[in-house]
Chain A
Amino acid sequence: KAGVTQTPRYLIKTRGQQVTLSCSPISGHRSVSWYQQTPGQGLQFLFEYFSETQRNKGNFPGRFSGRQFSNSRSEMNVSTLELGDSALYLCASSLATWTVSYEQYFGPGTRLTVT
């Protein structure tokens, strides 16, 4: 089975721009979670989507948004980029149900650099 894929792998943007990152989960997985990883803050939860519904959201500003499509692929968008948004963005897929969460498997990540 193919793993979680993320595109692009690397991205350089300028302050004020917006960016869209894409994630394709493992086949059969309907839950996709997004995380931001920085050296100072570690891994922090952004949001989770299941069956095209956002079920959970972390403590990030509204500039961070996401969506999920009917094939479970997910995108996250960051608008009005700030220098502090430079990070590794990870998505993880899970064989979750509406009521139970299981193991999460991470993709390779997208390294975003904001200049």
Chain B
Amino acid sequence: QKEVEQNSGPLSVPEGAIASLNCTYSDRGSQSFFWYRQYSGKSPELIMSIYSNGDKEDGRFTAQLNKASQYVSLLIRDSQPSDSATYLCAVNLYDAGGTSYGKLTFGQGTILTVHP
């Protein structure tokens, strides 16, 4: 089982709809969770970070974290064609030595397409 897994894509939604992206992770005392967006040929761009259970909203984006279920999600409301990209879930997992300095473990990514 992979340490960080994302729901298989690709995901296609119509313009104006809600896109829901999901991610599960192996539990090793993870404290930090991130969502990145990566356009084709570009580097990942941080769009959300979440550190505690519950919801965190930023504009059209809402991140949800449930540590008990080892689950983090990203909702994109009023999806736009410009949201079409690969979305990467990243977790700051502790290693066997109990450290996690600077290491993000990424899911395989979910390709989102928003069609007009």
Q: Confirm or deny: B29 has a beta carbon within 8 angstroms of a beta carbon on chain A.
A: no
Q: How large is the interface on B (under 10, 10 to 19, 20 to 34, 35 or more residues)?
A: 20 to 34
**A contact residues, total (Cβ < 8 Å):** 28
Residues in B neighbouring A55, C-beta threshold 8 A: 99, 101-102
Q: Confirm or deny: A96 has a beta carbon within 8 angstroms of a beta carbon on chain B.
A: yes
Name B46's contact: one of A90, A103, A107 (CB within 8 Å).
A103
Interface of B is mostly: loop
A11-43 to B contact mask, C-beta < 8 Å, 1/0: 000000000000000000001110100000011
Residues in B neighbouring A44, C-beta threshold 8 A: 106
Q: Do B43 and A50 touch across chains, with their CB atoms under 8 A apart?
A: no
Residues in B neighbouring A50, C-beta threshold 8 A: 101-102
Binding site for B on A (CB under 8 A): 31-33, 35, 42-45, 48-50, 55-56, 58, 88, 90, 92, 94, 96, 101-109
Binding site for A on B (CB under 8 A): 32, 34, 36, 42-46, 49, 88, 90, 92, 95, 99-109
